[in-house]
Chains A and B, each alone.
Chain A
Amino acid sequence: AQKITQTQPGMFVQEKEAVTLDCTYDTSDPSYGLFWYKQPSSGEMIFLIYQGSYDQQNATEGRYSLNFQKARKSANLVISASQLGDSAMYFCAIRSTDSWGKLQFGAGTQVVVTP
């Protein structure tokens, strides 16, 4: 069984500042992938970034980077230089070999970017 925990239900961040969203996971599978998705108020799920369990380097995609600490089983998302358009719900998810490709999602963190 797998589990994703996002302990921050909501966060406020000022425009142009960085924000870190916490994600911890629990899996007994040695091989897995971690994903972050963004869900704006419009409802669509937008893929942001991926980290494989055997990747040597932390993933980065533009303003998004992933602080992956395998031993601690954490995969925190860092959004640099926040923009008003970053206001959304952010979900961390895990997929492993025993999951037939399905994603197990956390409860999400609501981010509000203020001017």
Chain B
Amino acid sequence: GAGVSQSPSNKVTEKGKDVELRCDPISGHTALYWYRQSLGQGLEFLIYFQGNSAPDKSGLPSDRFSAERTGGSVSTLTIQRTQQEDSAVYLCASSQPTSGASFRDEQFFGPGTRLTVL
């Protein structure tokens, strides 16, 4: 079946503009995660969705960042008034939590959106 898809693959914007990044998870996956990867760095957690609710928003770096998920499927990450430090690859992942106290649920990652803020 289809994997996680993200759009656009690349986005170049000017400082101060708003951007929207989209993530289509694997069909049926209830858990969705957004991560950010700055140049040469590891992945930094941003936000987690279970269904349409976001029980963990602890990684959002500022109130310029927001995300929503509708219909338990597509998610949009919005960055308002972009700054140059927002330049990074934004990765989305989805998983289907299994029953029981297991951490094994594999997160399937999308190809990412490379955001460049000029």
Please list the residues of chain A having a beta carbon within 8 angstroms of any beta carbon in chain B: 4, 31-33, 37, 43-45, 47, 50, 52, 91, 93, 95-97, 99-108
Contacts and interface: CB of A to CB of B under 8 A. Distances in A.
Given A33-B103, A45-B109, A102 B59 contact: yes
A106 B101 CA distance: 24
Nearest to A33: B103
B48 A47 contact: no
Contacts of A106: 42
Interface of B: 31, 33, 35, 41-45, 48, 50, 55-56, 59, 89, 91, 93, 95, 97, 101-109, 111-112
Nearest to B42: A105
Contact of B33 (A43, A102, A108): A102
B91 A52 contact: no
A94 to B, nearest CB: 9
